[in-house]
Amino acid sequence: MKFLVINGVNLNLTGKREKRVYGVETLEEINAKIASFCRANGDEVSFYQSNIEGELVNKLHEAFENKSVDGILLNAGAFTHYSYALRDAVAAIDIPVVEVHMSNVHAREEFRSRSVLSEVCCGVVCGFGAGSYLAAMTGLCAALKK
Ligand code: DQA
């Protein structure tokens, strides 16, 4: 199977910003772990990051129009909490999307408890640091392969 991992706003600074919250691994290091996890399962994975909301929407549309992937992990960063455009894009595509957060968004500021994406995602994983991506990929694979 083919997977796409999308990271949104500020996630390019992972490993460099708010290390106490998001850990010290860079996005490249996290992506390398996801890639080796997928390789070990015989799956393919590609990665995309943008700080620009419309580019994230375009990437979701592209995956849909090209029928290029079987499932998507999406850490939209702060867009999670207010982007109706991203929500509509997730709802528009018939590809399962898992919402991912490294931090436990429910144990932080109140505004982070609200996600406009969860309702249109097939699952949500948060709170396990970089491990959230691997847990989400495990869940997505299990859901798709059953
Ligand atoms: C985040 C949580 C969001 O609230 C925050 O804006 C981020 C990262 C996470 O991975 O924990 O940028 O999505």
pTM of the model: 0.97
Model confidence pLDDT, tens digit, residues 55-100: 999 999 999 999 989 999 999 999 999 999 999 999 999 999 999 9
Residues linked to residue 75 through DSSP beta bridges, in sequence order: 7
Model confidence pLDDT, tens digit, residues 14-71: 999 999 999 999 999 999 999 999 999 999 999 999 999 999 999 999 999 999 899 9
**Ligand 1 pocket, mutate which of 26, 102, 113, 117 (most atoms under 8 A from CB):** 102
Helices (H), the chain: 19-22, 27-40, 53-65, 84-92, 131-145
**Ligand 1 pocket, mutate which of 80, 83, 110 (most atoms under 8 A from CB):** 80
For the cut 90, the answer to whether the pLDDT of residue 120 exceeds it is: yes
